[in-house]
Structure 1
Amino acid sequence: MNKTLVLSLLLPMSALAKPVLTVSTYDAFAADWGPAPAIEAAFEAQCECDLRFVTGESSIGLLRKIQLEGDSTDTDIVLGLDTNTMELARATGLFATHDWPMQRLSLPLPLPWTDATFVPFDYSIFAFVYQSDRLTQVPSSLESLRNLPADVKLVIQDPRSSTPGLGLLLWVKSVYGDRAGEFWADVADSILTVTPGWSEAYNLFLQGEADMVLSYTTSPAYHRIAESDERFAWAAFEEGHQGQIEVAAALASSDQPQLAAEFLSFILSDAFQSAIPTGNWAYPVIDMALPDNFEVQPRPAPFRLADPKRVEAQREAVIAEFLSAIGQ
C-alpha cells in the first residue's frame, strides 16, 4: 500500500490540513480582476498555507465588523485601511506589532515610515475623473468647483464609510480651513448623490448619471490599459491633491502570528507589489517600473497627506461640518 495513503489514514485531518491565513479586505481588492488572485498564488507558493480573502464593501466597515467580533474574529490580517483611518484602528487595541523590512519602502514622504503596526502596500492620489468627450469646461481648482454650471453634476463618497470620501473632506479642510463649510454649502447643489463607497459612485459615473466622480489619478490608466479607451482623464487642481497610503496590519488575536508576520513582510516583495499597478490601479510603495500608459498626465508631486493623529482628533468635527453644509 502507498506509504502516503497509510500516513493519511493514520493521521487526523487537522495534521494534514494546511494552515489558513484569513485576510479581510474590500471588495475591489479581492475581485477576480483585482490584485488578490495573483497575490494569493504567489504567497501560497512560498508559505505552504491556504491564503483566504474575505471582503466587505469598505475598509471602514471591515474595521467596525472586527471591533464587534473582538477576539472571536477569524480574521488574521486587515488589508485596506489607510493613513486617515489607521489611528482609529490603533485605538481599538486589536492590532499587533511586527518587524518588517522598511528599507524596501520608497514612498514620497518628507519623513521615513517607521510605524511598527501598519505596513503600507500602495498609495493613491485623489482626483475628480471625467470623460473628455462629455465635459468640455474642466475645473482647474477646488475653488472652480464652487462655480460649476448648474447642469454639471458630481458624485462623491460618504466620509463615514469610505476612505476616499473622508480624504476629500480632509483635502477641502487643508485648503479652506475654517471656511470649509462655506465651500460645501456652495458645492452642495452640484452633488448628484453621496454613495456609501467608491464602487457605487464610479458605476453611476460610468452610467452617465454624473459628469465627474471623486476617484484617483490612476483611474484613467485602467481605461487606457484594460479597455483601450483614452477618453478618461482627471482634473488637475491648482491647490494640489490629497493622497492616501493604504496599509495592512495583523490582529493580536490571530492564531497564526508567524504566518501573519510572513505575509506582512511579503507585502513589500516584488511579487506582491507587481500586482498593484494594474490590479488595484494604484502606485506601488517600492521602486519598480510602471506599465506603459499608466501615467499620461504628470503625477501631482508632492501630494497632500494628512497627519494620522490630527485626522483622528478632527474626524467627527470635519464630518459634522460637511453633513450640515450639504443638508444631511
Structure 2
Amino acid sequence: MKHLAFAAGLLSATAAYAETPELTVYTYDSFVSDWGPGPAVEKAFEDVCGCDLKLVGAGDGAALLARVKLEGARSDADIVLGLDTNLTAAAAETGLFAVHDVRADYALPVSWEDPLFVPYDWGYFAFVHNADAAAPTDFKALGASDKKIVIQDPRSSTPGLGLLLWVKAAYGDEAPAIWEGLADNVVTVTKGWSEAYGLFLEGEADMVLSYTTSPAYHLIAEEDASKAAASFSEGHYMQVEVAGKLAASDQPELADQFLAFMVSDAFQSIIPTTNWMYPAVTPAAGLPDGFDTLVTPEKSLLLPASEAAAVRDVALGEWLGALSQ
C-alpha cells in the first residue's frame, strides 16, 4: 500500500508540474547572472503567477534582437527583455512583437508612449575609471590622451551601439575624426558589457565604457569608493531598456502579466542594486543611499528611435573604418 500511495503521489506531482505554465524570457547574460536581477525577479514573479519563469541568457542586448530575428515566429521566447531605444525601431520592423496595454507613472527623463515596448530601467553611458586617476572631460581629450579603454562591439552590445550614437549625437559629421582620435586608445572590443567591465577590473585598461551608475555598485555592494564615472562636457547619451511580448507567444496572457509586473514595485525595487540602473518607476522606498553621489550629466543626449535606426549603419561604418586603420 505504501508503494501504491507513493506511486499515486508521484503521478499527482508529475501531473501538477506538467500543468504549470512556463514563460520564457530571452534577456542579456548579466541579467540572469547570480549577481544580476534575474534570481530575485524569478522568485518574485513566480510567487504571484503560479508559473515557471524561465530566464534565458542570449548574449548582450543587441544579440537578443539578432537571435529573435533568426528564430522568427518559431522562437521559444514569449518575452524579449534587454533591447533599448536604439533598437526598438528595428525590432518593430520585424513584425514579431505584439501591442501591450501597460500603463505606469514612469520616472523617465523622456515621455513614453511606445505601443510595443515597456521600459524597465534607464541610465547614462559613461567611461568608468579609478577615482584616484585624472580623467578626460570630453571625447577629444580622451583621444588625445594615453588612456587605455575597453569598449563593447555595437553589433552585439547595446552599450557598444550606444557609444556610437553618443559620438554621433554629440559631433555629427565630425564623428569620423573623433573615432580616428580614439582608435589607438582602444585596447580591445568585447562582445558584451560583462567581459569589458571584467577586463577593466583586472587592470587591463584605464577606463571602460559603462554607466554613470556603475560606481554605485562598488560603493553600496563593496563599500568601495575607488571607482568614478568621467563627466563629459558634450553630454552623456541616455539608454532606456525595454521588454516586449512576441506576437507568436503561446502564453500571451502570462506574458501580459509579466509586462505589468515589470513596472510594479516588486520588480522596480530590485533594479537599482542588482542591475545598477535607475528604475523606470520610482520604488516606494526611493533610491538607495549612494545614488545621490553619482555623476549627473549637465546635458542629456538621446536620438529618437527612428533616427537612431537611420544613422546606425553610417555610425557603424565610421567606427569600423577608424578601428581598422
State which of 152, 157, 160 in structure 2 corresponds to 1:165. Answer: 160
State which of 148, 156, 161 in structure 1 corresponds to 2:151. Answer: 156
Structure 2: how far apart are the matches of 1:83 and 1:295?
A: 26
Look up the match of 1:107: 108
Kept in 2: contact 1:221–1:295 (CA 8 A):
no
Look up the match of 1:318: 315
Q: TM-score scaled by structure 1?
A: 0.92
| Percent of residue pairs identical | 52
Kept in 2: contact 1:218–1:295 (CA 8 A):
no
Structure 1: how far apart are the matches of 2:144 and 2:259?
A: 45
Sort the Cα spacing of 1:278 and 1:98 in 2 relative to 1 into closer, same or farther, 3 A: same
Look up the match of 1:126: 125
Sort the Cα spacing of 1:7 and 1:309 in 2 relative to 1 into closer, same or farther, 3 A: same
Aligned length: 321
1:248 aligns with 2:247: no
Sort the Cα spacing of 1:155 and 1:12 in 2 relative to 1 into closer, same or farther, 3 A: closer
Structure 1: how far apart are the matches of 2:14 and 2:159?
A: 47
- Listed as ranges, the matches of 1:83-102 within 5 Å are 83-102=85-104
Structure 1: how far apart are the matches of 2:32 and 2:159?
A: 18
Sort the Cα spacing of 1:9 and 1:128 in 2 relative to 1 into closer, same or farther, 3 A: closer
Unmatched segments (≥5 aa) in structure 2: none
Question: 4+ runs of 1 displaced by more than 6 Å?
Answer: 5-8
What are the superposed Cα offsets for residues 149-206 of structure 1, whole Å, 9 maximum, x if unpaired?
x3x2111111111111111111111111111101111111111111111111111111
Structure 1: how far apart are the matches of 2:120 and 2:128?
A: 23
Answer with 186-195 or 21-30: which moved more: 186-195
State which of 292, 296, 299 in structure 1 corresponds to 2:293. Answer: 296
State which of 60, 63, 67 in structure 2 corresponds to 1:61. Answer: 63
Q: CA deviation at 1:86?
A: 1.0
Structure 2: how far apart are the matches of 1:211 and 1:162?
A: 20
Sort the Cα spacing of 1:92 and 1:297 in 2 relative to 1 into closer, same or farther, 3 A: same
Sort the Cα spacing of 1:277 and 1:301 in 2 relative to 1 into closer, same or farther, 3 A: farther
Structure 1: how far apart are the matches of 2:50 and 2:136?
A: 51
Structure 1: how far apart are the matches of 2:227 and 2:152?
A: 20
Look up the match of 1:217: 212
Q: CA deviation at 1:7?
A: 9.1
Structure 1: how far apart are the matches of 2:119 and 2:56?
A: 19
Q: CA deviation at 1:17?
A: 2.4
Letter in structure 2 aligned against 1:34: G
Structure 2: how far apart are the matches of 1:123 and 1:132?
A: 24
Letter in structure 2 aligned against 1:45: D
Kept in 1: contact 2:84–2:158 (CA 8 A):
yes
Q: CA deviation at 1:301?
A: 5.2
Look up the match of 1:27: 29
Look up the match of 2:192: 197
Q: CA deviation at 1:295?
A: 3.2
Q: CA deviation at 1:322?
A: 1.0
Q: CA deviation at 1:50?
A: 0.7
Look up the match of 2:277: 282
Structure 1: how far apart are the matches of 2:154 and 2:109?
A: 25
Unmatched segments (≥5 aa) in structure 1: none
